[in-house]
Amino acid sequence: MYNPDQILSNNSGSKVPPLEGFREAYILHLADTTLILSQRNSEWCGHGPVLEQDIAITNISLDLLGQSRNFYQYAAQLINDSNRVGGEVTEDKLAYLRKEREFKNLLLVEQQNGDWGQTILRQYLFSQYQYLLFEKLQQSSDEQLAAIAAKSLKETKYHVRWSSEWVIRLGDGTEESHSRMQQAITELWPYTGEMFEPADYEIAFGIDLLSIKNSWDEKVKNIFDEAMLPIPPLGGGGAVFMQSGGKEGRHTEQLGYIITELQYMQRTYPDSEW
Amino acid sequence: MAIPDFEKIFQGKIDEEIKIEPKDWMPDAYRKTNLRQISQHAHSEIVGMLPEGNWISRAPSLKRKAILLAKVQDEAGHGLYLYSAAETLGMNRDEMINDLHSGKAKYSSIFNYPTLTWADMGAVGWLVDGAAILNQVMLCRTSYGPYARAMVRICKEESFHQRQGFESLLVLSRGTDEQKAMCQDAINRWWWPSLMMFGPKDSESTNSDQSMKWKIKRKTNDELRQQFVDMIAEQIKVLGMKLPDDKLKWNEERKHYDFGEINWDEFWQVVKGNGPCNKQRLEARRKAHEDGAWVREAAVAYASKKNAAKTKAA
């Protein structure tokens, strides 16, 4: 039977041939998520609210880009080793020649930068999750993945510290900054649920998202409390409805524009060295 | 009682190559010239982030993206060292930034040109950073201590940037016909503005003589410009590209390259604010500053709350 979902997210008609194994899919999910957040953060470079913070957000963007390259390179290696593909797959082919429906990044990271408050809240919500996730992944039996997670964890620890300090500073700063942070929570909270909703490849890979969720809830609550910011209701009738789909390649309208820019050169000048 | 002749002591130090430090006596004009030059240099680093930042989201490979991001971030870092050096002369960063935004303070005119293609990233690295380095290497020995020390750190990173720029063009020069054309086009557009970076001719330069005497500068605009032409005229052979100047020719007698006349009308127009991107660059800086006002206010408010709590607890 014709199943567009399967065809579109399985790279059919793409320059990068089918690569589905759960392991590859999961590594690509990690790669795409870090790349797209790096791309978003890099939009601040040269436009930050104060020079020191311009440098800090660019630094985080660089860290995430480095992480994504590690994941893409690993995914490329797995795909090449599997011999399922004619021609060599590279980090750049994976980042620059896959389409909207093939990207597996979290919806949270593709959301617009908005104001500084929205950017640092997005960073905090993600980094807090990433930190807990990488703590687990560094124990993974997949040695390569464990090594990347362990190496990235040091960076992520700093991202959590930096972004949580900003959440607190802005939440408990002025009336204006407080209300902007509340607005940012309203904008971003609906994209937090997806982090803990396992995709097939996460289940197959044995990622325990439930235990991560419990720690995440607790840590986020502590930071929000210190920031004098209310946590949206977690359950019951008032709970925020959560968006999902990014992990399976169903995104918000933001992603198309991001990858249009990201991939412009490779699409315009195919098969060139840079 | 003899009144010490401060001016004589000051010039004596300069002549003996002793650095002038923030708390030393210095002529007012020396302070002002340094402040003007260092703050202008800091602003150039910050405004210079914009034309290159323009290509971060579109860099053609992950490796190039990482190199470019790191480079633009380095420039922000240079801006920080330079603002700190300028602050030692008695003006704070906010005042300097206000002067930039009001148009009172200048920045290097080169950043008022647009970056139109990816090859511009290579050309900016090779030509613009290349021109900047010649000036900065000289400034490592400038007489004002904090400026000289900032320059030593900056020079190390800048020469790395220049090599990266050249290497990026080298890849294009060995690539497809389209890439070669892109490379040559970028060189054509950046060559003359790069020559203008050294400023007016010595015969037209108002600040040069005194700056030489105070060893703020150690080479004249024309000397540095010639040094740059001689360097690039050789390096371009490796790329197999051409500089857009029919008059460029080795002069055996002078042991230097001769080169054509700069379009000084264009130079002055861009200085006056009529370059292709003057308005956009300043507007982008002002917007970043204004959009960030609430963030800076909140940070100050939060810090003072915390300090008050600390004081109370103590």
- The answer to whether residue A13 scores a pLDDT higher than 70 is no
Burial code (b: 16+ CB inside 10 Å, e: under 16) for B100-132 equals bbeeebbbbbbbbbebebbbbbbbbbbbbbbbb
Evaluate if residue A7 carries a pLDDT over 80.
no
- Residues 73-132 (B) with a CB less than 8 A from some CB of A: 73, 76-77, 79-80, 83, 118
Average pLDDT score over residue span B177-204? 97
Q: How large a percentage of chain B has pLDDT more than 90? A: 93
Identify all chain A residues contacting B293, using CB atoms and an 8 Å cutoff.
49
By residue range, what is the domain housing residue A122?
A: 8-268
DSSP track, B250-296:
EETTTTEEE-----HHHHHHIIIIISTTHHHHHHHHHHHHHHTHHHH
Mean pLDDT, rounded, for A24-33: 97
pLDDT per position as a tens digit, A156-169:
999 999 999 999 99
Chain-wide mean pLDDT for chain B? 96
Q: How many helices (H) and strands (E) does chain B have?
A: 14, 2
pLDDT, residue A18, reads: 44
Furthest C-alpha separation in chain B: 79
R_g over Cα of chain A: 19
Which residue is listed with tokens 């995104």? A251
Q: Residue A50 has which token pair?
A: 């104060």
Q: Which two tokens stand for residue B61?
A: 């490979």
N-term to C-term CA, chain A: 42
Q: What is the pLDDT of residue B208?
A: 74
Residue B119 has pLDDT above 80, yes or no: yes
CB A79 within 8 A of CB A223: no
Q: Is residue A16 part of a domain?
A: yes
Helices B145-173, B129-139: inter-axial angle, 10-degree rounding: 160
Answer whether residue A123 is part of any domain.
Answer: yes
Supply the pLDDT for residue B206. Answer: 74
Helical segments of A43-188, H only: 51-82, 91-96, 107-110, 116-137, 143-171, 175-188
What is the pLDDT confidence band of residue A16, given thresholds at 50, 70 and 90? very low
Cα–Cα distance for residue pair A224/A229, rounded to 1 Å: 5
Domain for residue A3, yes or no?
no
A273 in any annotated domain: no
pLDDT at B175 over 70: yes
Q: A12 pLDDT exceeds 70?
A: no
Give per-residue pLDDT as tens, B252-264.
Answer: 999 999 999 999 9
Nearest Cα neighbor of A264 from B183, B172, B121, B61 is: B61
Q: Do B305 and A172 count as a contact with CB atoms less than 8 A apart?
A: yes
Q: pLDDT class for A20, splitting at 50, 70, 90? A: low
Q: Could you tell me if residue A163 is inside a domain?
A: yes
The whole-angstrom separation of Cα A144 and Cα A123 is 25
Q: Is residue A274 part of a domain?
A: no
Q: Which two tokens stand for residue B233?
A: 């005229």
Please tell me the predicted confidence (pLDDT) of residue A10: 53
What kind and span of H or E run contains B249?
strand B249-251
CATH of the domain at A211: 1.20.1260.10
* Residues of chain A found within 8 Å of residue B287, distances taken between Cβ atoms: 47
Residue B256 phi/psi, 5-degree rounding, is: -140, 165
Residue A1 falls inside a structural domain: no
Residue A29 · residue A207 · CB < 8 Å: no
Q: How many CB atoms lie under 10 A from the CB of residue B303?
A: 12
Q: What value does the mean pLDDT take over residues B147-155?
A: 95
- Tell me the mean pLDDT in the region A59-85: 93
Sign of the CA dihedral with A144 first, then A67, B164, and B156 last: negative
Q: What is the pLDDT of residues B295-308, one digit of tens each?
A: 999 999 999 999 99
Which residues lie closer than 8 Å to B98 by C-beta, 6 or more apart? none
- Among A111-120, B28-37, B210-219, B221-230, which is the least confidently predicted range? B210-219
Total domains in chain A come to 1
Of B66, B76, B168, nearest to A62 by CB-CB distance is: B66
In a domain, A27, yes or no: yes
Q: What is the pLDDT of residues A234-268, one digit of tens each?
A: 766 778 899 999 999 999 999 999 999 999 999 99
* Interface test mutation site (partner B, options A37, A41, A50, A51, max chain B beta carbons within 10 A): A51
- Chain B touched by A163 (CB under 8 Å): no
> Across residues A72-101, what is the average pLDDT?
91
pLDDT at A33 exceeding the cut of 90:
yes
User: pLDDT band at A14, cuts 50/70/90?
Assistant: very low
Separation between Cα atoms, residue B42 and residue B148, nearest integer Å: 14
**A174-230 pLDDT per residue, tens:** 999 999 999 999 999 999 999 999 999 999 888 899 999 999 999 999 999 999 999
Q: What is the pTM of this model?
A: 0.94
Please give the average per-residue pLDDT across A18-36, as a whole number: 88
**How confident is the prediction for chain A on average, in pLDDT?**
92
